[in-house]
Structure 1
């Protein structure tokens, strides 16, 4: 009989990551292209990005509180996948700034609420082994690559509406896979640490970590919102853009294979500091030399650190810092602050600075500064605390 720890269930978790982050590859790089095709200005695109990203604040915390109190993480994961598909599909029938904002905000609320449940389920199924976690999580990166390249090609062949059709197929696949997952049986909490989650949150180490995470995600604003349009302005095709984005995630896949070893050897603090400093370099390269394919390739390879290694180290910190009792809420707090507040601020500011491409260099330069400050936030914290 198949169990939560069986290879079959771990394979299904790998497919869950593949389709979940594959939808990122469909939606995030090409949302600007899709909205541009529907007549939105760069200011409106930035504002829509900011508004829908705010949905990341409420959703994860609400669902995580329910998951920790009921122990029904898998059921919430399945419901979230179904509701995400439903809300995303509304874009076929609605148009205009506020209608699309509401549709995508509802989708984002359910979509980002899925991830804490997937992370908790996976970490429990691999018994918090960072190496095994890395091998499963890398399939999310593979899905991102495949779907980014494929969607870019579909835009070249058909139109800027292609991401909608691809996204429905991907989200339908995600929902179907979740129906076959198995979660470990609840075990009695044997932890002796009865410190409340709020006392854990009000510690200097967590303040430093979350401030760094917010600034890091803020720095991603120009990349998530305008990279595809930036590439088009520089003369690259939609398919070429897909390959450049895919290249970055391919580097991310490779780093996931070594993430557990690097974290165990150097510790969470220094893995994060180095990864974020390399992120700052990446944004500076995009600001200054993105017209050169060679430097663009170099910048995209740094995605291995700016997302891949930084994400793995952050997950390791959250899982061990909050422990078994509060792990879902810990994941949700991290996602809400980092991706919600940081992501919304990044989308808003980059949208107002972009100015139909005229402010591209300034936007990526400020992103580089934001990442640099994010790394500095972690320096005062002792390595033993992380």
Structure 2
């Protein structure tokens, strides 16, 4: 018994390290990819187009990988393979230049990168036996990784150049692959061949449809932030390191919310956790549109990242894992990633690129983000809490 408990705790630590590296990598690229591209001479429209193209890879990729994982029962192998190919294709950016020379390697990287998170989420939920509190305690290390590497990358830009983020990313992706080699897959009852089928018989529910539309709109609202927040701050006179600290502050707030997420979900339910978080997200974009010159407002808007990403992500993963039957867990998470982050992210990134106009359209871009977040909350308000909770517990 003691050996089993020790082994479980060891796997918890190894999962935490993997989350640290995975989201640490996002902490390098999400805030600073725009800075890197700007340094390579890309216009704001080209930056938006590149973001949209590489985000489209998140539409098809997750479902392909998840289908392989669900049918083979080898989700951990898919996770490892995805990390290896991600690192290899990412390194192509060191050998090419120009719009397509950079876009193609990033698109390939994203195609393989989409294999990682859905499998990691399923592996973690199975390891903690779907316990939302334990999941949050492991997942918060992803936020810590985001904070640490955001600060490192921001300072590296000041010390070296706008090329620094891709160098840091290459190191982190290599370490991520090595970390997956240490993970162990828990024993989970596998469905028989007759139980495997199409995910759409469960996904066609109006409750799931509303959830996905809401999640998609949320990611549309994030287009301006993901693509241009760092450039926005630099235009306002912040240094790369200060911008890094601002981004890190938002993710630090995630750490706190992840410690409370399980309790909040059990008390409020998925619906009201999401609605409250979406409305706070709308306030965040509104504040950045109207008061970008106020340091206090910018800082407070970053604190709201705890809700706009942290709590919405924890609640969404919890909902998906409980909504779908066991044989569809990987595909359910992948469907969420591909439709919400893929379609929604592509629309948000592309439209933000068109509106930004090298900073002249900042107000309009953030107001569109505000409207998208409000619509996201409105969609969920059309569904009763009871129907969401009953449907999730029925599967």
State if a TM-score over 0.5 links the two structures.
Answer: yes
Are positions 1:322 and 2:316 aligned together? no
Are positions 1:95 and 2:130 aligned together? no
Which residue does 2:209 correspond to in 1?
207
Does the 8 A contact of 1:4 with 1:182 survive in 2? no
Moved more, 246-255 or 195-204: 195-204
Tell me the secondary structure at the aligned position of residue 326 of structure 2: coil
Structure 1 distance, partners of 2:387, 2:148, is 38
Does the 8 A contact of 2:25 with 2:173 survive in 1? yes
From 311, 314, 320, the equivalent of 1:312 is: 314
Structure 2 distance, partners of 1:313, 1:20, is 19
Does the 8 A contact of 1:219 with 1:370 survive in 2? yes
Structure 1 distance, partners of 2:6, 2:45, is 47
Which residue does 1:281 correspond to in 2?
283
Structure 2 distance, partners of 1:274, 1:186, is 34
Structure 2 distance, partners of 1:67, 1:276, is 32
> Cα distance, 1:323 vs. partner?
2.5
Q: 5+ residue gaps in structure 2? A: 389-395
From 383, 386, 390, the equivalent of 1:384 is: 386
Does the 8 A contact of 1:209 with 1:378 survive in 2? yes
Matches within 5 A, 1:284-363: 284-363=286-365
Structure 2 distance, partners of 1:263, 1:8, is 27
Which deviations, in whole Å up to 9, do the C-alpha atoms of 1:77-100 show, x marking residues without a partner? 011111110111111111110121
Structure 1 distance, partners of 2:163, 2:63, is 32
Q: RMSD over aligned Cα, in angstroms?
A: 1.6
Which deviations, in whole Å up to 9, do the C-alpha atoms of 1:261-306 show, x marking residues without a partner? 0000000000000000000000011111121110111000000000
Which residue does 1:35 correspond to in 2?
37
Structure 2 distance, partners of 1:351, 1:145, is 26
Question: Taking structure 1 as the reference length, what is the TM-score of the superposition?
Answer: 0.97
Does the 8 A contact of 1:4 with 1:125 survive in 2? no
Per the alignment, do residues 2 and 153 of structure 1 end up closer, same or farther by CA in structure 2, a change over 3 Å counting? Answer: farther
Which residue does 2:179 correspond to in 1?
177
Structure 2 distance, partners of 1:194, 1:169, is 39
Q: 5+ residue gaps in structure 1? A: none
Structure 2 distance, partners of 1:327, 1:74, is 14
Question: Taking structure 2 as the reference length, what is the TM-score of the superposition?
Answer: 0.95
